[in-house]
Amino acid sequence: METPPPADPDPTPPTPPTPPTPPNLPPAGPDPTAQPLPPADSIPPTPPPTDPDPLPPTPPANPDEQQWKVILHLSALIGFICPAGNIIAPLVVWLVKKTELPGLESEGRKVLNFQISYTIYGIASVIVATVASCLIVPIVLPIAVGIVWLVFTIIGGVKASNGEDYTFPAVIKIL
C-alpha cells in the first residue's frame, strides 16, 4: 500500500523566480536630460566636400627640357648593349645639353652619380661572387644589383616624364 504524500503546511502557491536584469542598460522610458531636436528646416545645410586632390606637378618651363631629362635617364639602358654605355650615354647627353637647358645640369649630376655608384656596386658584387663562389648568396648578389639598377633607372625615367624630381637611393656623390 502506498501512502499519500503529506500535505503542504503552507497553502500559498510558490512564486516564480524573477529574471535577472542585465547590467548597464538605460532605464526604460524617455531620457529626462535629452534636449528636443530643432525643426528640420532650421538646420543649416552641410557644405559640399572640398576636393583633397593635390595639384599635379608643375611641368618644366621648357617641354624640351622634360624630354631631355627622360632621354638622360633612359639612355643608361644602352649599358645592355655596350659595356660602360650606362655611364657614357648619359654623360654625352649631359655634356651636350647642360648649357642649353639649365634644368639638365643638376639632373645630369644625379643620373651620373647613380650610374657610377651602381657600376661600382655591380663590379664589387661580381668580385664577391667570384671569391665566395661556394655560397649561394654571393652568386645571387650581382643579379640582385642588376635588377635594382634596372628598376631604379626606369623609375627615374618615369618620374622625369611626369615632371617630378627623383632622388636615387644609395648613391655615392661623385659629381
Q: How would DSSP label each residue in 26-64?
A: PPSS--TTPPPPPPGGGSPPPPPPP--PPPPPPPPS-HH
% residues pLDDT > 70 (the chain): 66
Range of the domain at 87: 63-161
Q: pLDDT tens-digit profile of 13-44?
A: 666 666 665 566 555 656 666 666 666 666 66
Q: pLDDT tens-digit profile of 118-154?
A: 999 999 999 999 888 777 778 889 999 999 999 999 9
On the question of pLDDT at 4 being above 70, the answer is no
Pair 104, 72: CB distance under 8 Å: yes
How does DSSP assign 55-88, residue by residue? PPPPPPS-HHHHHHHHHHHHGGGGGGTSTTHHHH
pLDDT for residue 137: 76
Q: What are phi and psi of 29, to 5 degrees?
A: 100, 180
In a domain, 117, yes or no: yes
Of 122, 116, 172, 117, whose CA–CA distance to 146 is shortest? Answer: 122
Number of structural domains (the chain) is: 1
In a domain, 132, yes or no: yes
Label residue 73 by pLDDT band (50, 70, 90).
very high
The predicted model gives 71-91 an average pLDDT of: 93
In a domain, 97, yes or no: yes
In a domain, 89, yes or no: yes
pLDDT for residue 54: 55
In a domain, 71, yes or no: yes
HSE at residue 149, side-chain half, CA atoms within 13 A, is 26
SS3 of residue 7 by DSSP = coil
The predicted model gives 77-89 an average pLDDT of: 92
In a domain, 99, yes or no: yes
Tally of CB atoms within 10 A around 126: 14
In a domain, 9, yes or no: no
In a domain, 171, yes or no: no
